[in-house]
Structure 1
Amino acid sequence: MSSSYKNNYKKFFRHTYLTFAGVVIAVPFIIDAFAGNTPHASLVFNKTLADTVPLVPKDSSKRIAPKGLPAKGADSTVLLPGADTAGLVKVDTLFVPKVSKDTLDAPVTYKAKDSIILMVPDKRFYLYGTATTKYKSIDLSAEKMNFDQETGVLEATNAKDTAGKVYGRPVMNDGGQSFESDTLRYNFSSQKAKIYNTRSQYGEGYIHSEQTKKGADNSIFGFRNGYTTCNLDTPHFSFRSRKIKVIPDKLVISGPANLEIEGIPTPLFIPFAIFPITQGQRSGILPPQYVVNQQKGMGLENGGYYFGMGEHMDLTLRGDVYSYGSWSLTASPTYRKRYKYNGGLNLSIANTRFGDPSVKSEFSSSRDFRVTWNHSMDSKARPGVNFGANVNFGTSTYNRYNVFDYNARVNNTIGSSISFSKNWQGKPYNLTVGLTHGQNLSTRDVNITFPDATFTVNTIYPFQPKELIGKPKWYHKLGVSYTTSLRNQANFKDSLFGSKAMLDAMQSGMQHTVPISFSIPVLKTLTFSPSINYTEYWYTKKFVRKWDPNKWNPGLNQLGAIDTSYIPGFSATRDVSFSASLSTAIYGMYAFSKHSKVKAIRHVARPTLSATYRPDLNSKNYYDLQYNKAGDRQRVSYYEGVSGFGVPAEGAFGGINFGLDNNLEMKVFSRKDTSGNHEKKIKLLDGFGITGSYNLVADSFKLSPFNIYARTNLFDKLNISMSGSIDPYQVDARGKRLDKFVWQQGKISLGRLTNASISMSTSFQSKDKKGKEKKIDSIENIQNGDAAFAAQQRQLQMVRNNPGEYVDFDIPWRVDLSYSLSYTNTIMPDSGGVVNRITQYVSFNGDFSLTPKWKIGLNSGFDFTNMQVAYTNMYISRDLHCWQMSINLIPFGTFRQFSITINPKAGILRDLRINRSRQFYDL
């Protein structure tokens, strides 16, 4: 029957008697096909379908059931082939008919929006209008379908509208595989398919084939194919190959292939291609990229091998090699265990060579290493126990020769931390053990602290009953806690690592602290809090300094210098203080008129006042030290620089500490407020205040410097923080402090500003076009857990190295600004002067879209102190749909660089890139 029957089937049935008779005969069969799986109610109908007469045992308690069917009674008993008929008799009963040989092993469901036609004589079905058919895991949809019952072949085709445009192309989904074609033929018996002009998707890739054969094992054989990651019907690029084989969930294997761009063949040929489509880990080669470096020569970078070691671990090996002899090797293992822990290690060694070895004056070399390690533990893995690590250390010149991203270049300090903590459940004990490391790459100073342990007993209330009855007594709130800390640290140059000088620089000590405190309300609005604090310091050596007039001073290039020595041995110092404080909060409100847009301003002031007494227990630990030829002296301690806890102050203190903290809020009229008040709160100042102290028992300089601060976030956009210190005492011409207040000179001032700083930052960006979709993706990444975390860390490093390749075209523009200003007024007693220093720095980064496909970005800053532009990185990106082009430029500075990269967006072809880069060093 041709497709023309679709529009003439009513006329055909009305004028064709034979077809009418066929329909009449087919009605009982169609009705029965929609019945249940039980035998027909008519015995004659059953006997018509099969001549077999059911047999049952003479003993009705013995029943034989087909394999897989339970014996529920005589009505469901069927004689199995080869069964013993002895002892059986014939009975007239219901019977399940034999299954036809061409019956399918699973039901087929189908539907169509327009019409379904059954041609009984031809044994064919015709479906028109958005037809769908489902069989096992196969889901097929097309505009038109027809099924031949004798051959078991289903054919699906598209249709054309009145303008000749094709619509309703057949789409076949089978176990995650998707095929879109012009014509599709599927055999239900052999489960094979022949597909014409098809496009199928495998992961991130698409295969366009003129003809495709699908086997029963779901393997795919394609003829005249094109492989691409472009999702357009006419892709921008593809690898053209005559034959392709697809092994589902494993590989796409191709013979000789030619790269086409915009349908134009290129001179680029590959003898074969293997594209993995396996989800998850897969070991394989990581192809390098070609670069040209002015100092290192031509080279291959980031080539290596990836080892997939299972669900919990993998390893990436990468290396660089250059024509002038430089090379580097990096090993990056990562590990993870879901709901337990995850982490990664990065071990790098590099050998850098500059110049010609035969010309020693122009030749230099450097051998460097870098070790990074991060480890995090899931909080639910072991409640009460946590272990984490963030390690980053290496040689000071590693970044100079081997790192090119912006953050690493402008940051001259690196650091590490490893920590272990344990909380005893149900008990007030806490233990923390850690290692910290700090390194200045410019000065080559290294600081290592290990072990750094702290054991804490949280505040306990020994006089508080377990079950409090009635009003609590004052002594019920008496709390006692205990903290002990152990610290061992060393400060040295990186060239002394592991040497005796490094061990001599070790500083060791312990500190014990026992605070006792309680608080009671006074006059309902005040809180009175007396406390006692006892601290004890343990040291392992003394640091003794004395003036030696015969020692050469290389700094001043003259005789006379301070001689130093360490005296080993255990010693201890103690410190105790008694204090009592009063605190309260004062609220003030100023209301405006009803017609004003500003409804009210609220001011909250929190004054604190405390009295402290600390007896002098440490005068014996201080001595007078002459530090110049003039005989000037200063008081120093035997324990300065021998432990990480410092030393207790000399002299007694009996004085008053005071402080005042404030915040301001404003209520304004807002139409966006859905409540009846139509009000919105705006914070004018999150906090601003002043602190200081006055020593009643000191001989001089009783008033301490004033510390001032302020912070706010204006309009939820501009973050501002300020701080400073004001010295209330005068200074003489040589810069020495005088025991006279500044206001005694007739000035209306709290004192002399010794240091101050202010920082501001803000960020603006346009609305994200795909904000909701990205939010869903971020939630899914969080739910993926450890694997997503490890991938994000690797991706972050790639973003830093190549900012132009990871721009967001969904945000038309973005600007981040920050400004910092610092002022110091340093007294130089030796030179008899005061040095004022002001530093200002502004940084900005952002990008904007010239068009929806072109974006320009800039990371830079300006140093007002040195009046020069800071490290600057510019980039231009072009969205080429399935490809992306980026141009990165560092126009000036010590490390200048230019690179242009064109690469596919798909991760599977990420290493298929065209890169040209030039780097320049001003050493």
Structure 2
Amino acid sequence: MVDSLPADTLPADTVPIAVPVSRDSMDAPIHYKAKDSIVMQVPQKQIFMYGSADTKYKETSIKAERIKINQQTGIMEATKWVDTAGKSYGHVEMTDHDQSFQSDTMQVNINTHKAKIYHTRSQYGEGYIGSQQSKRMADNTIFGFKNTFTTCDLDTPHFQFRARKIKVIPDKLVISGPANLEIEGIPTPLFIPFAIFPITQGQRSGILPPQYVTNQQKGIGLENGGYYLGLGEHFDLTMRGDVYSYGSWSLTASPTYRKRYKYNGGLNLSFANTRFGDPAVKSEFSTSKDFRVTWNHSMDSKARPGVNFGAAVNFGTSSYNRYNVYDYNTRVNNNIGSSITFSKTWIGKPYNLTLGLNHSQNLSTRDVSVSFPDGTFTVNTIYPFQPKEMTGTPKWYEKIGISYNTVLRNQANFKDSLFGKQAMFDAMQTGMQHNIPVSFSIPVFKTFTLSPGINYTEYWYTKKFIRKWDPAKDNPGLGTKGAIDTSYQAGFFTARDVSASLSLSTAMYGMYTFNKHSKVKAIRHVMRPTLSASYRPDLNPNLYKELQYNKEGDKSMVSVYDGAIIGVPSPGSFGGLNFGLDNNLEMKVYSKKDTSGNHERKIKLLDGFGINGSYNLVADSFKLSTFSVYARTNLFDKLNISASGNIDPYQTDNRGRRIDKYVWQQGKISLGRLTNASISMSTSFQSKDKKSQSKEKQIDSISNIQNGDAAFAAQQRQLAMVRNNPGEYVDFDIPWRIDLSYSLSYTNTIIPDSGGVVKRITQYVSFNGDFSLTPKWKIGLNSGFDFTNMQIAYTNMYISRDLHDFTLSINLIPFGTFRQFSFTINAKAGLLRDLRINRTKQFYDL
């Protein structure tokens, strides 16, 4: 049997009939549902939904306990409902695109997209707006009547602005007329004529309001006021300024630039003019004109593989920090520096090039050192006798490696007052050093490694230091006649050095085990002795000459290149031994936390401790060098300890000059005289963070942001604000925290002229931390103690109170050259960051 269908009986030229559509029909379907029931009145064209009703029309959805739809008028009405006790329950929620509203009653015209909402509350960014009545227009603009605005997320907010009229332009602004601030529902005397709250994300230009301060030196002032100018996704500019009643002022321009996956950076140009005294009294009046330049630039590693350019510049006058910087870390740091580097690595080839500019500056002594251009070119180790394809065990000569390294240095050391003057250029030194090492290593006796090597170094100079004793020259240090006169001879000069070495190294292990019932399972000691023999001939016999340095006629060997920036070959020849011993000490203890069957945990007792020295067999005197000793460890992963020192094994005469006799030849059991030593310790403790996991995720997300992104720039500005006002940015999730560090240095110097012994001990301890008196109150302290001068170091104390929407902080620097007191109440929300009350007083002891 075959199934068949009849052929199409319509004529080919038949015209389709248009079906008329009702005028009040919707232009899109309405999807609706309800938990309780749905009642449809067909003649009246109405729909009633009861119990968790939910409707969706295009991009608009409404949820309520009761919804009524009138198809004739196109009005959708949503309301709460009343239970048998007469109490209303439920709420109306409307979502349209990215906007959401909560209210008691809502009427929406489906055709015109207009709506009237009663007793509504909606969120825009960090702000919450409540209105008794509001109208939503077709373009999503909202007009509110009897409104409140707050950033508090509680149903009954701690504070709010109350305004009669308000207008919301979605994704742009919230604009209100006159508004009154209420705190805990109580109106305050604070009124504002109008308010504009931005609710946009991203870059927006605008005014940066200043803050009021009182400064003993500068008078009443306004600080950090200015303007932010957004110039697109690749560039922006922030201008800030300070002005004071006594005539001082400062201006800072901070442009930032970025191009994703290419480069990013930021620049700060700061100028300040600080006035001292009364202009009417010229003898007591002076000014300090200062500047500071900082620049940071980084290049994405994927932009140009093998090429990198970076900059970290911090340069300025020595007195800029004294009068214009108030944060703790900057004021206690007297050293600043800069680095600009360009590097290139030839991919697939052993060549590397680095060019740079470096700058270091001591703000106390006003010494400046600038190196430019500064370059290094290296050829990584190559093996010329190694075949392209290795087969079997390599021959000894196939392990011979040769490399090359050259360094170019141009450096000037001068006082900051000479910057840009001829004296700065006269102090410029230029030098170049070439180094060619040849080395290889072979195993011997199974546990030893033998490493022969040859090293050739050549030095190029452009200046000689001509020094001579002048008995008629004034000596300002001693206030007498007689001093060393130094002059320079320009030209091209060379020196060279060559050495051959043979080293032997190994590692020895020792283990002491305890009985099985002891908590300490074992202690392991690792020793790594090294012994090397080297020979260096004297290729520069005329490089060193005797120079008289005092009136008594005492002399010392000095080179014409002493003080050169690339160094100078050592005097004489060397043929001797170099020795060293490094030790490591570990302990195994019983641990319940170990999930393995051994239940053991390793503890490092000493990461390393040892001694180094050398013995010159061909020297005519002082064959044994000084001993260098060191130790370092991290006990229990909490206490970091490092120590180092130098021991001189030779005796001295009554004038402090070394004599060629060992200290132990006097019958003393000693390696020698301790000439210098230092030890430092640091530790940190804190209670468990209640929100550590969420914060770690946030830190990870921040670390993934490129340095030049606007978000990163904001993080850097926030960090600067934290340093300036630590009390405003405390972490209330950590109940207590303390950081401790201690440093001690010792020097034992003998003055050759007088034979006097100068022993100097410096000790310093620093501590900072905070603790919570209650979950909402926190006290913090940053300070230290200088045992040398027996005085308390720069100290900063603060008290903070978490007010949910606001933070109250009191910052105090109680003593020292720079003293300050500040009281601040500021809103937490970024939207209201300029809503703050600040009273700051600053005092100087110049």
Q: Does 1:260 align with 2:182?
A: yes
Contact preservation (8 Å) 2:796, 2:814: yes
The corresponding residue for 2:387 is: 465
The corresponding residue for 1:913 is: 836
Q: Does 1:703 align with 2:624?
A: yes
Q: Write the distance in 2 (CA, Å) between the matches of 1:885 and 1:619.
A: 73
Contact preservation (8 Å) 1:56, 1:90: no
Distance 1:121 1:377, change over 3 A: same
Q: Write the distance in 1 (CA, Å) between the matches of 2:351 and 2:492.
A: 28
Contact preservation (8 Å) 2:179, 2:194: yes
Q: Does 1:745 align with 2:666?
A: yes
The corresponding residue for 1:842 is: 765
Match 1:734 to one of 644, 649, 655: 655
Displacement of 1:160 after TM fit? 6.2
Match 1:681 to one of 556, 578, 602: 602
Displacement of 1:856 after TM fit? 0.7
Contact preservation (8 Å) 2:25, 2:71: no
The corresponding residue for 2:14 is: 89
Q: Write the distance in 2 (CA, Å) between the matches of 1:842 and 1:56.
A: 103
Match 1:638 to one of 556, 560, 579: 560
Displacement of 1:104 after TM fit? 3.5
Contact preservation (8 Å) 1:55, 1:90: no
Q: Write the distance in 1 (CA, Å) between the matches of 2:18 and 2:668.
A: 114
Q: Write the distance in 2 (CA, Å) between the matches of 1:105 and 1:755.
A: 90
Displacement of 1:191 after TM fit? 1.6
Q: Aligned AA for 2:353?
A: L
Q: Write the distance in 1 (CA, Å) between the matches of 2:613 and 2:439.
A: 22
Structure 2: gaps spanning 5 or more residues: 1-7
The corresponding residue for 1:234 is: 156
Displacement of 1:232 after TM fit? 1.7
The corresponding residue for 2:122 is: 200
Q: Give per-residue Cα distances to partners, 1:169-214, cap 9 Å, x unaligned.
A: 2222322222222222222222222111111111111111111111
Q: Write the distance in 1 (CA, Å) between the matches of 2:82 and 2:517.
A: 68
Give SS of 1:724's match: strand
Q: Write the distance in 1 (CA, Å) between the matches of 2:119 and 2:403.
A: 79
Contact preservation (8 Å) 2:40, 2:46: yes
The corresponding residue for 1:795 is: 718
The corresponding residue for 2:642 is: 721
Higher percent of residues as strand: 2
Q: Give the count of matched residue pairs.
A: 837
Displacement of 1:465 after TM fit? 0.5
Equivalent residues in 2 for 1:436-475, closer than 5 Å = 436-475=358-397
Give SS of 2:14's match: strand
The corresponding residue for 1:812 is: 735
Contact preservation (8 Å) 1:225, 1:240: yes
Displacement of 1:140 after TM fit? 3.2
Displacement of 1:166 after TM fit? 6.0
The corresponding residue for 2:320 is: 398
Q: Does 1:481 align with 2:406?
A: no
The corresponding residue for 2:704 is: 783
Moved more, 304-313 or 749-758: 749-758
The corresponding residue for 2:811 is: 888
Q: Write the distance in 2 (CA, Å) between the matches of 1:421 and 1:562.
A: 42
Give SS of 1:619's match: coil
Displacement of 1:734 after TM fit? 2.2
* TM-score (normalised: structure 1): 0.88
Distance 1:241 1:479, change over 3 A: same
Q: Aligned AA for 1:194?
A: K
Give SS of 1:811's match: coil
Distance 1:745 1:221, change over 3 A: same
Q: Does 1:537 align with 2:462?
A: no
* TM-score (normalised: structure 2): 0.96
Equivalent residues in 2 for 1:850-889, closer than 5 Å = 850-889=773-812
Match 2:212 to one of 286, 290, 304: 290
Moved more, 428-437 or 733-742: 733-742
Displacement of 1:700 after TM fit? 1.3
Q: Aligned AA for 1:188?
A: I
Q: Write the distance in 1 (CA, Å) between the matches of 2:355 and 2:262.
A: 20
Match 1:520 to one of 442, 449, 455: 442
The corresponding residue for 2:4 is: none
Contact preservation (8 Å) 2:239, 2:254: yes
Structure 1: gaps spanning 5 or more residues: 1-53, 59-87
Displacement of 1:614 after TM fit? 0.6
Distance 1:273 1:57, change over 3 A: farther
Q: Computing the radius of gyration over CA atoms, which structure comes out larger, 1 or 2?
A: 1
The corresponding residue for 1:370 is: 292
Match 1:490 to one of 398, 412, 417: 412
The corresponding residue for 2:225 is: 303
Q: Aligned AA for 2:249?
A: W
Q: Give per-residue Cα distances to partners, 1:455-504, cap 9 Å, x unaligned.
A: 00000001101111121111111100001111100000111111111111
The corresponding residue for 1:414 is: 336
Equivalent residues in 2 for 1:106-505, closer than 5 Å = 106-120=28-42, 122-159=44-81, 167-505=89-427
Q: Aligned AA for 2:662?
A: F
Distance 1:749 1:140, change over 3 A: farther
Q: Write the distance in 1 (CA, Å) between the matches of 2:222 and 2:9.
A: 82
Q: Write the distance in 2 (CA, Å) between the matches of 1:693 and 1:166.
A: 93
Give SS of 1:89's match: coil
Distance 1:716 1:113, change over 3 A: farther
Distance 1:153 1:612, change over 3 A: same
Distance 1:850 1:160, change over 3 A: farther
Q: Aligned AA for 1:89?
A: T
Q: Write the distance in 1 (CA, Å) between the matches of 2:165 and 2:808.
A: 31
Distance 1:701 1:273, change over 3 A: same
CA RMSD of aligned residues (A): 2.0
Displacement of 1:525 after TM fit? 1.0
Q: Give per-residue Cα distances to partners, 1:526-580, cap 9 Å, x unaligned.
A: 1111010100000001001101112222222222121111011100000111001
Give SS of 1:646's match: coil
Match 2:538 to one of 610, 616, 625: 616
Q: Give per-residue Cα distances to partners, 1:760-782, cap 9 Å, x unaligned.
A: 11111111111222222223323
Displacement of 1:120 after TM fit? 4.5
Q: Aligned AA for 1:305?
A: Y
Q: Give per-residue Cα distances to partners, 1:494-527, cap 9 Å, x unaligned.
A: 1111111111111110000000001111122111
Contact preservation (8 Å) 2:341, 2:354: yes
Displacement of 1:362 after TM fit? 3.0
Q: Write the distance in 1 (CA, Å) between the matches of 2:86 and 2:675.
A: 84
Displacement of 1:266 after TM fit? 2.5
Distance 1:360 1:148, change over 3 A: same
Q: Aligned AA for 2:409?
A: R
Q: Write the distance in 1 (CA, Å) between the matches of 2:439 and 2:10.
A: 94
Q: Write the distance in 2 (CA, Å) between the matches of 1:243 and 1:56.
A: 66
Q: Write the distance in 2 (CA, Å) between the matches of 1:278 and 1:708.
A: 62
Give SS of 1:620's match: coil
The corresponding residue for 2:694 is: 773
Higher percent of residues as helix: 1
Identical counterparts, % of pairs? 77
Contact preservation (8 Å) 2:748, 2:759: yes
Moved more, 736-745 or 124-133: 124-133
Distance 1:119 1:852, change over 3 A: farther
Q: Write the distance in 2 (CA, Å) between the matches of 1:167 and 1:724.
A: 79
Q: Write the distance in 1 (CA, Å) between the matches of 2:607 and 2:61.
A: 61
Displacement of 1:805 after TM fit? 0.8
